[in-house]
Amino acid sequence: MFFRLVILIVIIVVTYSCDFISPKKTTLRNTALLDTVIDYNEVDVYPLFLDCNNCDSSEKQNLCFEMELVRRLQKITSKSHLGALDQAHDTILVDILVNTEGRISIVEIHKNSETSRSIPELDSLLFKSIASLPAAVQPSLKRGIPVNSMFTLPIVISPKE
């Protein structure tokens, strides 16, 4: 009788100990599912000009890219004189795309009809300004893969004083 009790205890211990040795398949499946969920609205690394490589955090790199883009566009557009800047203040929104090769392009310019009538050369100036930017931009990365990223750049038009 004692021998049967010992064998029963050994069988129970061996049966339950196998669950501790090998992980359950459901946890492996759940881990694999969690690993494949991708947030398409966020990137791991924002696009970078070469000047922004020394920033330590992702937020600082993004801010550096945006500030450098604005600085370069201001430098280019300040050389040209737009007519009819006696209008009221206006803000136009420019959708900018940085593609997987690091090229910057304009997708769309959002402005009201009054601005279009008073400054008809604004679109061509913006397209020329973006085209003259250097091609030395590192694209956005998601899991180490280059991806397209889009930015909306607000441009404030104000009368010259």
- Measure the CA angle with vertex 28, ends 22 and 32; round to 5°: 160
What would the two tokens of residue 144 be?
Answer: 């180490």
Phi-psi region of 144 (alpha: psi -120 to 50; beta: other; left: phi over 0): left
The larger pLDDT score, comparing residue 64 to residue 18, is at 64
The larger pLDDT score, comparing residue 74 to residue 20, is at 74
Q: Residues of the chain with pLDDT > 90: what percent?
A: 2
**Contact in structure between 101 and 139 (CB atoms under 8 Å):** yes
- pLDDT given for residue 36 in this prediction: 59
- Per DSSP, the three-state class of 111 is coil
Q: Give the integer Cα–Cα distance in Å for 93 and 63.
A: 18
What would the two tokens of residue 11 be?
Answer: 């069988």
pTM for this entry? 0.67
Q: pLDDT tens, 64-85?
A: 888 888 888 888 777 766 655 5
Mean pLDDT of all residues belonging to the chain: 77
What would the two tokens of residue 120 be?
Answer: 């008809």
Q: pLDDT tens, 24-79?
A: 555 555 555 555 566 667 778 888 888 777 777 778 888 888 888 888 888 877 77
Q: How many CA atoms lie within 13 A of 28 on its CB side?
A: 4
